[in-house]
Amino acid sequence: MNKEDAKNRITELTALLREHNYKYYVLSAPVISDYEFDFLLKELEELEAAFPEFKLPDSPTQRVGGEPTKEFKTVIHKYPMLSLSNSYSEGEISEFDARVRKLIDGNIEYTCEHKYDGVAIGLTYINGLLTTAVTRGDGTQGDDVTNNVKTIKSIPIRLRGDYPAELEVRGEIFMSIEGFKRLNKEREEKGENLFANPRNSASGTLKMQDPAIVAKRPLDCFIYNTPNEFDHISTHYESLKYLRSIGLKTSTNVAICRTVEDIYEYINDWNEGRVHLDYDIDGVVIKVNNLKQQKELGYTAKSPRWAIAYKFKAERAETRLLSIDYQVGRTGAVTPVANLEPVLLAGTTVKRASLHNADIMQKLDIRIKDLVYVEKGGEIIPKIVGVNTEARKKNTIPVTFAENCPECGTELVRNEGEAAYYCPNEDHCPPQIKGKLEHFISRKAMNIDSLGEGKIEMLFDHHLVNNIADLYDLTFDQLYGLEKVIVDQGKEKKISFQKKSAEKIIAGIEKSKEIPFFKVLFALGIRHVGETVAKKLALHFNNIDLLAEASSEALIEIDEIGEKIAESVINWFEKQEHKEIIVRLKEAGVQLANEASPMQISSDKLDGKSFVVSGVFSSYSREELKLLIEQNGGKNVGSISSKTDFVLAGDNMGPAKRQKAEKLGIPIITEEDFQQMIS
DSSP sequence for 369-416: T-EEEEEE-SSSS-EEEEE-GGG--TT-EE----SB-TTT-PBPB--T
CB of 22 to ligand IVH, least distance (A): 21
Q: Which is nearer to ligand IVH, 55 or 207 (CB)?
A: 207
Around 327, how many Cα atoms within 13 Å sit in the side-chain half-sphere? 13
Q: Which is nearer to ligand IVH, 35 or 79 (CB)?
A: 79
CB of 280 to ligand IVH, least distance (A): 11
Q: Which is nearer to ligand IVH, 299 or 476 (CB)?
A: 299
Q: Which is nearer to ligand IVH, 82 or 555 (CB)?
A: 82
CB neighbour list of residue 448: distance below 8 Å, 6 or more residues apart = 440, 441, 471, 505, 508, 509, 511, 512
Helix H or strand E segment including 173? strand 166-175
- Tell me, yes or no, if 23 is annotated catalytic: no
φ, ψ of residue 474 in degrees (nearest 5):
-60, 140
Residue closest to ligand IVH when measured from CB atoms:
120
* Alpha carbons 648 and 623: distance in angstroms, whole number: 12
φ, ψ of residue 281 in degrees (nearest 5):
-125, 145
Find the catalytic residue in 42, 73, 78, 115: 115
CB of 227 to ligand IVH, least distance (A): 9
**What is the DSSP code (8-state) at residue 188?**
H
Q: Which is nearer to ligand IVH, 297 or 554 (CB)?
A: 297
CB of 492 to ligand IVH, least distance (A): 55
Instruction: Tell me the torsion sign for CA atoms 115, 116, 117, 120.
Output: negative
Q: Cβ–Cβ contacts within 10 Å for residue 68, how many? A: 12
DSSP sequence for 592-613: -B-TT-GGG---STTTT-EEEE
Buried b / exposed e across 561-596, counting CB within 10 Å, b at 16+?
A: beeebbbbbeebbeeeebeebbebbbeeebbbbbee
> Under the rule (CB under 6 A), what is the footprint of ligand IVH?
82-84, 113-116, 120, 136, 172, 224-225, 285, 304, 307, 309
CB of 258 to ligand IVH, least distance (A): 19
CB of 449 to ligand IVH, least distance (A): 45
* Alpha carbons 156 and 169: distance in angstroms, whole number: 12
Q: Which is nearer to ligand IVH, 173 or 353 (CB)?
A: 173
The amino acid at 632: N
CB of 300 to ligand IVH, least distance (A): 11
Closest alpha carbon to 197 in 256, 91, 259, 280: 280
Measured between alpha carbons, how far is residue 300 from residues 105, 205, 307, 414 in Å? 20, 32, 11, 51
* Alpha carbons 133 and 359: distance in angstroms, whole number: 39
Strand 367-368 relative to strand 397-398, pairing: antiparallel
* Alpha carbons 218 and 202: distance in angstroms, whole number: 9
Helix (H, G, I), strand (E, B) or coil at 337: strand
Q: Which is nearer to ligand IVH, 92 or 192 (CB)?
A: 92
Q: What is the radius of gyration, based on Cα positions, of the chain?
A: 30
Helix H or strand E segment including 461? helix 453-461
Beta pairing partners, 75: 142
Long-range contact pairs involving 27-35 (C-beta distance under 8 Å, separation at least 24) = 35/652
CB of 114 to ligand IVH, least distance (A): 6
Q: Which is nearer to ligand IVH, 309 or 561 (CB)?
A: 309
Q: Which is nearer to ligand IVH, 116 or 326 (CB)?
A: 116
* Alpha carbons 479 and 464: distance in angstroms, whole number: 9
Closest alpha carbon to 175 in 119, 242, 134: 119
Distance of alpha carbon 491 from the chain centroid: 41
Q: Which is nearer to ligand IVH, 201 or 591 (CB)?
A: 201
The amino acid at 205: T
Strand 610-614 relative to strand 635-636, pairing: parallel
CB of 150 to ligand IVH, least distance (A): 20
CB of 156 to ligand IVH, least distance (A): 19
Q: Which is nearer to ligand IVH, 250 or 644 (CB)?
A: 250
Q: Which is nearer to ligand IVH, 137 or 562 (CB)?
A: 137
Are the CB atoms for 658 and 652 separated by under 8 Å?
Answer: no
CB of 324 to ligand IVH, least distance (A): 38
CB of 309 to ligand IVH, least distance (A): 6
Residues taking part in catalysis: 115
